[in-house]
Amino acid sequence: MKFFSSQIWGLLGLYCLLFLLSACVGGSQDTLVVLPGGEKLILKDSETANAVTASEPPSLDWTKASDAESTWVMEHLMDGLVRFNLADENLSLMPALATDWRHEDAGKVWIFHLRKGVQWTDGVEFKGQQIVDAWKRLLNPRTGANAANYLYPLKNAEKFNQQKIKDFSQVGVSLLDDYTLRVELEEPMAFFPMLLTHHTTFPTRLDVIAKHGDMWTEPQNIVTLGSYKLIYWHHDSRLIIARNENYWGKKPKIKNVVFYMIEKSSTALRMFDRGRVDFIKDIPSVEVNRLKSRPEFHSRPGLRLYYYGFKVKKPPFNNVWARRAFAHAIDKEELVKVLGGGQYPMNSWIPYGLFAHNNQTGLEFSVEKAKEALVKAGYGGEKPFPKVVLGFNTEEKHQRVAENIQAQIKKNLGISIELKNEEWKTYLNGLKSDSVYNIYRLGWVADYADPHNFMEILASYSTNNRTGWKDSRFDEMVKKGVAETDPDKRQSIYENAEKYLLREQVPAIPILTDVNQVLVSQRLKGFHGNSLDLYLFQDMELSP
């Protein structure tokens, strides 16, 4: 039997304890957990799935969080009005907290009928006011939410978020009764319900937040209404969710899920090979060729973007020619060959699999053009290029990408780059400043299958835009793309916006797109791969 409590153990200590205690009981993999408050709980191996996240979730506040690790956990704890059918290749929408919905006025007004009889984990009934409260909190600039712009399609939402109006009743969300939500948009939007699959739009209990403050997401305080509930969180080590027995929908067949927080993908792979974990999302690219013939290996194209952003508010990358020089100097074909993990070179901001994708949009690899751009930027000869710091979060693949690009820039432009890697939460804090990195690495996995989800990343109003670049012309094109209902005209808008972004302004460089690659143990049944790289244990079961 394994044992862990709130004591601080390193990974080595965990391995030793697993070995010793398993040996004491004849190899049993059941786990004794000491919960907050001292309660003891045995997690039976036959009822518990074990997964790996690449880092500690920075936050389980679903209104604020925007990273993949937090999202994976939160999607088990909460429901929104609608959800994606992950078993459907087309990612069709399914009812969740809304039983049905309709649009009026050509898609400018939406009516959602809410599910009755749903209870939070503390027994309080779900009502529409909790949606209104959540959206007000999301749009309140004092909240500091990373994705407030998700609700900008609502009438006056952007104005409220930017404090141009103070009265939230002017924002386009209201209740017709406790279980009927009315939403009014600035412009017609056919795909608006897709936005509501995102966790930032999920209902919120303001009373819980007021009572516990910043500690409201801890296991002893958090209140949720999804298929699982949070019961244990040893920060930077492991997190456990358990089946919500009062869940309104189909009860999960897997009773418990343990998420281990392991930065090194090679360590996670060793744990998988030893049968300690059942699910890994981050596979070392150097191991893909060895693993791809195994039955546990699953791969499919994903709606993903891996990119480098420039901090444009200070030299040297406040100069567009310097940005163009670096964009021309990177051979992405060479990079993906070196990685060898099935990635595709990206020269488009809109990824493979979405309409308006054109992988010839960005600046082409050309050492000659890179050097010409560097001269136009005013560098060379007696004016050497200043120090450049390239930042990325700690992970083996990110290290290999950075080292390859570091070598290419040195070879093609004669410029030295300093690499700086940080633990995920530290890295995110560094991105808030313009003085820590000159270039930074980030990625984006689609929240919904529409180009707008990617184009909006670099809009001036987007809190996911870490470049400091703000351009009203680009903003206007992005907004036109949302409002346009004619598919051909909409595609033309995005094509022009991409050219302006990647050929003229170059605040960022698309580098590659990852294939969604996971390892799933054969005792996990019901797994469905999907282009969103989102996998829910409530859809799976454990074989006997």
Q: What is the pLDDT of residue 53?
A: 94
DSSP H or E segment with residue 208: helix 206-212
Mean pLDDT of 283-290: 86
To the nearest whole percent, how much of the chain has pLDDT over 70?
95
Q: What is the pLDDT of residue 33?
A: 87
pLDDT band at 468 (very low <50, low <70, confident <90, very high): very high
Q: What is the pLDDT of residue 12?
A: 39
Token representation of residue 363? 């600046």
Mean pLDDT for the chain overall: 92
State how far the Cα of 420 lies from the Cα of 393, in Å rounded to an integer.
8
User: Residue 1 pLDDT more than 80?
Assistant: no
User: Residue 139 pLDDT more than 60?
Assistant: yes
CA nearest 328: which of 384, 378, 371? Answer: 371
Q: What is the pLDDT of residue 52?
A: 97
Q: What is the pLDDT of residue 312?
A: 98
- Interior angle at CA 328, CA 325 and CA 330, nearest 5: 110
Backbone angles phi, psi at 27, to 5 degrees: 90, 10
Mean pLDDT of 503-516: 96
Q: What is the pLDDT of residue 106?
A: 85
Domains observed in the chain? 2-76+214-300+517-542 (3.40.190.10), 79-202 (3.90.76.10), 304-513 (3.10.105.10)
81-125 pLDDT, tens digit per residue, is: 999 999 888 788 999 999 999 999 988 999 999 999 999 999 999
179-194 pLDDT, tens digit per residue, is: 999 999 999 998 899 9
User: Residue 343 pLDDT more than 70?
Assistant: yes
Mean pLDDT of 137-143: 97
DSSP H or E segment with residue 99: strand 98-104
262-278 pLDDT, tens digit per residue, is: 988 899 999 999 999 99
Contact 130, 197 (CB under 8 A): no
User: Residue 14 pLDDT more than 70?
Assistant: no
Helices 396-413 and 320-328 pack at an angle, to 10 degrees, of: 100
Q: What is the pLDDT of residue 301?
A: 82
Contact 498, 361 (CB under 8 A): yes
User: Residue 2 pLDDT more than 50?
Assistant: no
DSSP SS3 for 164: coil
User: Residue 9 pLDDT more than 50?
Assistant: no
DSSP SS3 for 423: coil
Mean pLDDT of 148-170: 96
User: Residue 373 pLDDT more than 90?
Assistant: yes
